[in-house]
Amino acid sequence: MHSDYGRLPAFLFSETLLVRNSSSAFMLAKQSYRTVSAEGELFEPAVGSMSLDFGGKITDMTKAILFGDSVEDLREMLAKLSKTIEKKSAQLQEISERIVVSDAEKIKLEFGISNVENKIASELETSSGKEKSMSQFASNNQILQSEADLLTMELCKYSRRLELLTPVIDRLSSRLRSIGDEPSSKSELAAKTLQRSQIIKAIDTTNIELGQVTSTLGGFEGRLELDMRQLCEMDGEKDRLALELEQRSHQIEELGNKSQSLEAELKTLRDQEQQTIDSSGNAYGVLQEYERKIKALSENERKLSKEHSIIERESALLKKDITDLTTEEARQTNDLVWLGYKNLLDEMDIGAAIKELTDEYEGVKSRINLRADEAYVQVIEGYRGMSTRRNQLESERNSIVSFIEEIVKEKEKVFMEAFQRVDGDIRNTFEKMTGGAAWLEIENPVDIFSSGVMLLVRFPGKTVPRESTALSGGEKTIAATVFLLALQSLKPSPFYLLDEIDAHLDAQNTERLSKVLLERSKDNQIIMVTLKDSTVSKAALIYGVYPKEGLSQVVKYKNPAQVPLAQISENKA
């Protein structure tokens, strides 16, 4: 705080530090300074306590409310206090929005950090997998190298053997030619020839083995070269992953620093929010208390004003009655004087008149129902109760009618969904099976639940569709089977049992039906009794029943054409 008078700040604030905002005041209070912000927020050393609006408008208004004498002054103070509270509420709302934005940014950063950590973990797993593969390739390379060395040694051995055998074969050939001219050596020639053929056979076998070893060696060399290329690629991939890991680590550090700064800012905003809430809460309590007092005073004033107006109105009426009676008395007196009665009339005997009226009342009282008003009240209350009950029943009836209408609509919706699904399945299956067309129709579309459903069928070559009841035996079988399969598509069963449904079908329709059943058997198990070979040939498991010596015998057979390849391999193994 700067001033042209050097000792003025110390005289005004003594050991209290004046700062511009509450954040600086809060941080200095943590360092054991007594601080006050320009907005009037006082912080004790070490943040031991805090006073809001120190020397500000709320304090001044509170004092004015406590020591004020006029209701108008109180109302003015309350209006000012309401404006101050609205301002504080706006500040609180702004701080809350900033906190929400900061929380969203924090969540986004945490989500990004978690994604980066997951990517790093996946990259580390990939790198470890690559390292394992590299070590495996290295071991395979060593094994292949040792095998190549062994094959090279065997090749050299067989080459030496061939070199040794070649001159021996030449000598034997020359000797055979020389011996072949002598007739006495035919048996020896035959033995030598047999020996020669055996040696040639051994040489051919050796050459074949040598070719196999050479081809194997070439394959091993190709595999070795391929493994070396893969090893080089894996080295490059490892370097790239290491570089990416380092980049990800830097990103995580940056995001962590940013998250810490956001957490510190969020903590500061929450402290400011709590301060604003405390300040608004205290002022709101005082405001509510004085509003209650003002409301009670206003209510009392309204009651007194109402009673005063009633008394004034009754007083005016009484004054008017007195005036009217005085006027009437004067007029009657004048009339009597004009008629010649100079003296006033004698007083009447009021007691006798009252006695006559009382006797007349007693005589009439016995003929009047004195409880008629009570009976009338009871009848009225009963009528009102019955009217209320009638209205309740009418509302309950309306709710029940609306509930029934909703149930009818829901039932119609469910029925139409099932109808359309079954109709679509019938159309597709029948067209795939026969090449014709079949569909469902509702007899009365206006009221679907008061009529039936028709199955119309048009086979290939027919122009007019017919109902299912007008078809032949085989056509009925096809239509009924398609219809049942479509119905089961709504709620499939785990298995189906069919008994000679292809008995009345020709070969072409039997083949089509068996294809449809084979396609449906992918999701369900179908057990079928049939005598048609085309249907049996498509079954995965066949049970045959035949009589023998008066008893039924059963034979079981698995169709290899329908058995999965993996199961066939397991059975062979």
Kindly tell me the burial class for residue 551, based on how many C-beta atoms sit within 10 Å of its own C-beta (0-12, 13-18, 19 or more). exposed
Contacts made by residues 26-34, CB under 8 angstroms, sequence distance 24+: 26/268, 26/271
Kindly tell me the burial class for residue 483, based on how many C-beta atoms sit within 10 Å of its own C-beta (0-12, 13-18, 19 or more). buried
- Res 564 pLDDT > 50: no
Task: Choose between 52 and 224: higher pLDDT.
Answer: 224
CB contact at 8 A, 59 and 286? no
Q: Find the mean pLDDT for residues 379-396.
A: 85
Q: Find the mean pLDDT for residues 525-547.
A: 86
* Percent of the chain surpassing pLDDT 70: 82
* pTM, full prediction: 0.33
Q: Find the mean pLDDT for residues 329-338.
A: 80
Considering the domain 101-280 in this protein, what is its CATH number? Answer: 1.10.287
Token pair of 286, please? 């005082």
- Res 43 pLDDT > 70: yes
As a residue count, the chain comes to 573
- pLDDT per residue as tens digits for the range 295-321: 888 788 888 878 888 888 888 888 888
Task: Determine the pLDDT at residue 572.
Answer: 40
Task: Choose between 207 and 526: higher pLDDT.
Answer: 526
Question: Which among 497, 482, 477 is positioned nearest to 427, based on CA atoms?
Answer: 482
Task: Determine the pLDDT at residue 67.
Answer: 46
Please report, for the chain, the start and end positions of each structural domain, with discontinuous segments joined by +.
Answer: 8-98, 101-280, 308-346
Looking up tokens 């061939």 gives 162
Task: Determine the pLDDT at residue 71.
Answer: 55
CB contact at 8 A, 12 and 30? no
Residue 543, phi then psi, degrees to nearest 5: -115, 120
Write down the mean pLDDT value for the chain: 76
- Res 520 pLDDT > 50: yes
Question: Which among 158, 166, 164, 248 is positioned nearest to 210, based on CA atoms?
Answer: 158
- Res 500 pLDDT > 60: yes
By DSSP bridging, strand 551-558 and strand 541-548 are antiparallel
CB contact at 8 A, 528 and 510? no
Token pair of 298, please? 């206003």
Compute how many other C-beta atoms are within 10 angstroms of the C-beta atom of residue 459: 19
Task: Determine the pLDDT at residue 573.
Answer: 41
- Res 50 pLDDT > 60: no
> What's the Cα-to-Cα distance from 560 to each of 510, 520, 531, 543, 566, rounded to whole Å?
21, 20, 20, 14, 12
Residue 551, phi then psi, degrees to nearest 5: -125, 150
- pLDDT per residue as tens digits for the range 142-152: 787 777 778 77
Among 259-268, 272-281, 303-312, the range scoring the smallest mean pLDDT is: 272-281
- Res 358 pLDDT > 70: yes
Task: Determine the pLDDT at residue 535.
Answer: 83
Per mean pLDDT, which of 56-65, 115-124, 247-256, 406-415 is the most reliable? 406-415
